Structures are given as C-alpha cells and as structure tokens.
C-alpha cells in the first residue's frame, strides 16, 4: 500500500486513530467512575421532628457547659477544673445520674476564652461518647 507523495519525502501527518482510542477509553472510565465519586463518605442526617416519647423526656436532661474567659468551666452550674480528665469525670457523673450515655451537650464560651479550654471540653465529651454536641456562638 503506497502512502502517496514522492519517494524519500518525510511523512509529517499525525495518525489520530490511536489518540482517539485513548480518549474514548478515558471517557468510558470517567463515565463509570463519576457516580462512585459522588457518593458522600460521611452521611449526616438532618435534624427532624420526631414525636417519640423518649425524645420528649430527653429534652429535660442535657449537659450545659459554660467556658469563661478566665478559664472557669461550669458543667450544669458546677465549676470543674479546666482539664480533660475533670470534664470527663463531671460528664460521666451526669450520665450516671441520668441513667443514659447519649445526652446532648451544649457548649457556650466567652468570646475571649482560650481555645485550649474549649478543646478540653470537647475532648472530655468525646471521651464520654457524647454524639450530640451543639456549639453556641461566642458570648461577647
């Protein structure tokens, strides 16, 4: 099969068939993988309204934590030391008193409170398996 042109002439045209094959294969791979990438790794259920009796009773039992700018941490009005172990002990006491481990925690802090005190409360809550935590905007 003759390629055309004069003898000894250099062939300068690009064969686009292999290039097109590569692009089509990449397109098929992207089409197959795109739905898998769209799936979220972390599923978060939005809060909904439930008329369950247990949840109505739980609204009365919650853990309120206040962090002041001076480093004073109050858990349900009782002052505790500003370290993770003391916070965990106080939360575990409230959980034992309520008879359940899954209590909601509401964290309030002053605007000028140091981050280490807020993190100590969050670490203590995580150590007590608190799954429902609300962090309120800083107070001024």
Instruction: Please report the domains of the chain, with CATH numbers, ordered by start residue.
Output: 58-135 (3.30.420.270)
Q: What angle do CA 94, 100, 101 make, to 5 degrees?
A: 80
Q: What angle do CA 80, 121, 117 make, to 5 degrees?
A: 80
Summarize pLDDT for 55-102 with one digit per residue, the tens: 444 456 888 999 988 889 999 888 998 888 889 999 899 888 888 888
> What is the Rg, in whole angstroms, of the alpha carbon atoms belonging to the chain?
31
Q: Is 76 left (phi over 0), alpha (psi -120 to 50) or beta?
A: left
Summarize pLDDT for 107-122 with one digit per residue, the tens: 888 888 888 888 888 8
Summarize pLDDT for 9-60 with one digit per residue, the tens: 787 888 889 999 999 999 999 999 888 776 655 555 565 555 555 544 445 6
Q: Take residue 31 and report the two structure tokens written for it.
A: 């089409």
Output the pLDDT for position 81.
Answer: 87
């Amino acid at each position: 099969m003759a390629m055309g042109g004069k003898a000894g002439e250099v062939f300068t045209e690009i064969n686009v068939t292999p290039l097109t094959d590569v692009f089509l294969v990449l397109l098929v791979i992207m089409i197959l993988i795109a739905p898998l990438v769209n799936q979220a790794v972390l599923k978060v259920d939005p809060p909904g309204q439930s008329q369950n009796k247990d949840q109505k009773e739980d609204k009365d039992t919650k853990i309120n934590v206040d962090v002041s700018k001076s480093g004073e941490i109050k858990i349900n009005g009782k002052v505790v030391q500003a370290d993770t172990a003391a916070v965990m002990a106080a939360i575990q006491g409230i959980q034992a008193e309520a008879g359940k481990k899954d209590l909601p925690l509401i964290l309030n802090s002053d605007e000028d409170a140091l981050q280490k005190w807020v993190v100590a409360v969050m670490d203590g809550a995580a150590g007590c398996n608190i799954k429902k935590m609300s962090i309120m905007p800083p107070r001024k």
